[in-house]
Structure 1
């Protein structure tokens, strides 16, 4: 069974809001899903995202494949960086403290850019 992390469309006509969900690749776009990881609203300026980062990282570590759009959302929110750093810890390249320090540095830099 292939597991995907993808968007599930909800909302009104011409005003979509999306749930970021983990689903079996064979299920329909708005059908059954395994777990809801967050929401994405493209109509705000800038687009707003609410994510459960730990759950998203754990699904990526288990091998779930994000779609292109979800991969972009994860990249902007630091989920892919967190996964990359945790893989470094797992391989012994980094310590846990170093990975947290690198992620915090990136996060502070992103907050400065958003202002």
Structure 2
């Protein structure tokens, strides 16, 4: 089974809001999904995102493939960086404390607020 992380459209006509979901790649866009990871609202300025970061990283580590849009959202919110750092820890490149410190530096630089 191929698993994708993609957007599920909700909201009114001409005012879409999207759920970020983990779904089987064969299921329809607004169909059945495995887990909801967050919400993306493109109508606010800047676009707002609410994410369950640990769950998103967990699915990426298991091999789920994000769509291009979700990959962009994850990149802006630090999910891909967190995954990259955890893979470095797993391979023994650096320790968990160093990875945590690097992620905190990134958070301060880009003024992101994420629970660690």
Bin for the TM-score computed over the shorter chain: over 0.9
Instruction: Give the Cα separation in 2 of the matches to 1:94 and 1:48.
Output: 33
Instruction: Give the Cα separation in 1 of the matches to 2:55 and 2:94.
Output: 22
- Partner in structure 1 of residue 57 of structure 2: 57
- The answer to which of 103-112 and 16-25 deviates more is 103-112
- Partner in structure 2 of residue 6 of structure 1: 6
Structure with the higher helix share, 1 or 2: 1
Instruction: Give the Cα separation in 2 of the matches to 1:80 and 1:31.
Output: 26
SS of the residue aligned with 1:27? coil
The CA deviation at 1:11 is 0.1
SS of the residue aligned with 1:16? strand
Give 5+ residue unaligned stretches, structure 2. none
- Partner in structure 2 of residue 100 of structure 1: 100
Instruction: Give the Cα separation in 2 of the matches to 1:111 and 1:103.
Output: 12
Root-mean-square deviation (CA, aligned residues, Å) is 0.8
The CA deviation at 1:21 is 0.1
Aligned residues, how many?
Answer: 112
The CA deviation at 1:49 is 0.1
After the TM superposition, which segments of 4 or more aligned residues of structure 1 sit over 3 Å from their partners?
none
What is the TM-score normalised by the length of structure 2?
Answer: 0.96
